[in-house]
Amino acid sequence: MAARVALATLCALALPWGAQGQVDVGAFDIVDLTHALGADTVFWPATPPERFELTQLAFGDTEDGGFYAANRFCSAEHGGTHLDAPLHFSRNGDSTDRVPLERLVAPTLVIDVSAQAARDHDYRLSAADVRAFESRHGRIAAGTIVLLRTGWSRYWPNVKDYLGDDTPGDASKLRFPSFGEDAARLLVEERGVAMIGVDTASIDYGQSRDFAVHRIVTAKNVPGLENLTALDRLPETGALLIALPMKIAGGSGGPVRAIALVPKATSKR
């Protein structure tokens, strides 16, 4: 089923096909939407503090004249560019390993509120914003991935600028923009989108106390992407998003490598 959906997605996007039925990847810019995991990765304020740890196990020449390197890493599920599986806020939601591939590989659109967010750090995407987007591009189709561009990735990895506060273990003073409740309801309940994502630390805005957007989308078994970057390189419509998390059995989320295939005719390089 997933293979048929993926093929239908490619056909719907009118991707160029080359010899032996292969997609002509050279016709696209491949845009990396992922922050690298490392010592400066931003994590949600927690007690004890979370961080990404890379421990070197081997690095050097071998006795037979070769070379060998190996590491061990440790990380929370929800740090850096990552997926929120529906299980994160819904008891009966899909865990990371059970999220259908057609939610992770799908046509994507970008709603740009960077101008509004620059004026109001608590800005939340509204249903009116979504309908204004649709007035220019048509109704958002079911199965689409909707990404919200706030421009916040320019602050990464400065914790205070990115989160709005850098008090260890305290999430009460965070300030950054994201999705609003009415926009989330419109997208997941009426439009039937496959997934939503944002270039901030959460699909809820920083001052949220009840994480209403998380609750709304996960109630519909819709996953979310957080801490994306380079959304300014994507067109408003016409790209294909591929966002594959680590397949963690029973996971509530996980690190993800998110990329977009952007037809060169519409690329914003």
Separation CA 251–CA 84 (nearest Å):
9
Active site residue 121: no
DSSP alpha helix (H) spans, the chain: 2-12, 101-104, 114-119, 127-137, 159-163, 181-185, 212-219
Residues present in the chain in total: 269
Query: Active-site residue among 88, 121, 137, 214?
Result: 88
| φ/ψ bin of 92: left (φ > 0), alpha (ψ from -120 to 50), beta (otherwise) | alpha
**Are 238 and 265 spatial neighbours (Cβ–Cβ below 8 Å)?**
no
The Cβ-side half-sphere exposure at 46, using a 13 Å CA radius, reads: 11
Under DSSP, is residue 77 helix (H, G, I), strand (E, B) or coil? coil
Nearest to 107 by CA among 142, 72, 62, 79: 142
Nearest to 143 by CA among 90, 191, 214: 191
Separation CA 202–CA 253 (nearest Å):
13
Residues carrying an active site annotation:
88
